[in-house]
Amino acid sequence: MFKKINIMQRILTRREKLILYSTLGVFIFSIGFNFLIAPVLDKNQALDQQINYTEKKIKKYLRLLAVKEEIEGKFRKFSTSSKDLQSAEDATVGILSELENLAKNSNI
């Protein structure tokens, strides 16, 4: 029985055992990385992109909210001055041109 154990120990030298264990370690690490860590990193990247997109939308909405008073003031100006205009076409053209200017100013 001792001969069998002694023969088994002689099959692999110290150097071969080191190579075997390091190879197994790399193999187990690569499997663990591909099935455990990589999906988490991919999900994290997708969430980061979604957060960046939402931040850009919020900044755009905040910029529009900042000019809300100006837009409402111009609308009130045209709604009261449209009564003074003789034709509805002139009022429509004026309102549309002002809306176009506002859109250019707010980068829409």
Show Cβ contacts of residue 91 under 8 Å, excluding neighbours closer than 6 positions: 78, 81, 82, 85
% the chain with pLDDT above 90:
39
Say if residues 94 and 84 touch (Cβ distance below 8 Å): no
Average pLDDT in the chain: 82
For 13, the 3-state DSSP assignment is coil
Q: Which residues of 5-27 are buried (b: 16+ CB within 10 A; e: fewer)?
A: eeeeeeeeeeeeeeeeeeeeeee
User: CB–CB of 105/68 below 8 Å?
Assistant: no
Say what the pLDDT of residue 105 is. Answer: 79
Give 21-74 pLDDT, tens digit per residue: 999 999 999 999 999 999 999 999 999 999 999 999 999 988 888 888 887 888
Range 79-89 average pLDDT: 58
Quickly state the pLDDT bin for 100 (edges 50, 70, 90).
confident
Cβ atoms of 71 and 102 within 8 Å: the answer is yes
Q: Give pLDDT, residue 50.
A: 96
Contacts of 81 (CB under 8 A, 6+ apart): 91, 94
Residue 45: both structure tokens together: 């990247």
pTM score, two decimals? Answer: 0.47
